[in-house]
Amino acid sequence: MPQDRQSGQCRQRPGQARSETVIPDDDGTPTLVVVADPLTHIRAADIADLSRLREIERSAGEIFRDIGMAAIADDEPPTVETLARHQSAGLAWVAVDTDDQPVAYLTAEPIDRNWHIEQVSVHADHARRGIGRVLLEHTARRAMVAGTPALTLTTFADVPWNAPYYERLGFHRLPDATLAPGLRAIRRHETELGLDAWPRVAMRRDLGPG
């Protein structure tokens, strides 16, 4: 489904101490981030990861049951074929633990000359530790290097770990009347799927020079 389940807000669990950790990207570029449970690596997803990404998606969706959105929690994860399309295009990344096992992932696709964040999900066991933010910042840097003007996404307007969270990461809400054709098509498809049972919004983060 479209990007909805990101729950990796940078909030501590009781008893956890934050730490500054250098996490190398898959190209070796070091990134200083503040996390409660440091990971060791962000890398490109590979074919062997794809089934695990579906497990991550299921886990990440469970939090929606707590706010009366069980239909979202029950939604089927992207198929392996869909994930493989992002992976083969070089627009799928994973955050991995010390055993190189994915605990979170992000997929994107080119829409309206920008990179559209199709999905960013963090396994429930690793949520609220800043991992989603690291994946988004990684993607933003890659997009800037590629000369991409902006990141876009669609998400739930009022769910705390959706639109309000992305606003804290530099995204702004786009009025429906201003949407480019690709985003309009995505929003139309979401309406057809029934996602507008809860308010949805398209968002954009403009990117500076790479």
Cα Rg of the chain (Å, integer): 16
Closest CA to 203 of 160, 181, 170, 161: 170
Give the DSSP per-residue string, 145-175.
HTT--EEEEEEESS-TTTHHHHHHTT-EEE-
Encode pLDDT of 123-136 as tens digits: 999 988 889 999 99
Amino acid identity of residue 126, one-letter, is: H
- Give 153's pLDDT tier (boundaries 50, 70, 90): very high
Which residues, in sequence order, are bridge partners of residue 30? 24
Per-residue pLDDT, averaged over 89-106, amounts to: 96
Comparing 2-6, 31-35, 147-151, 193-197, the range with the smallest average pLDDT is 31-35
Provide the residue type at 79 as one letter. Answer: T
Q: How far apart are CA 85 and CA 69, in angstroms?
A: 28
> How far apart, in whole angstroms, are the C-alpha atoms of residue 152 and residue 174?
10
- Say if strands 102-111 and 114-122 run parallel, antiparallel, or are unpaired: antiparallel
Which of 11-25, 54-68, 142-156 has the least mean pLDDT? 11-25
Residue 46, pLDDT > 70, answer yes
pLDDT for res 113: 97
If you write DSSP's letter for every residue of 46-86 in order, what string do you get?
-GGGHHHHHHHHHHHHGGGGGGT-HHHHTSPPPPHHHHHHH
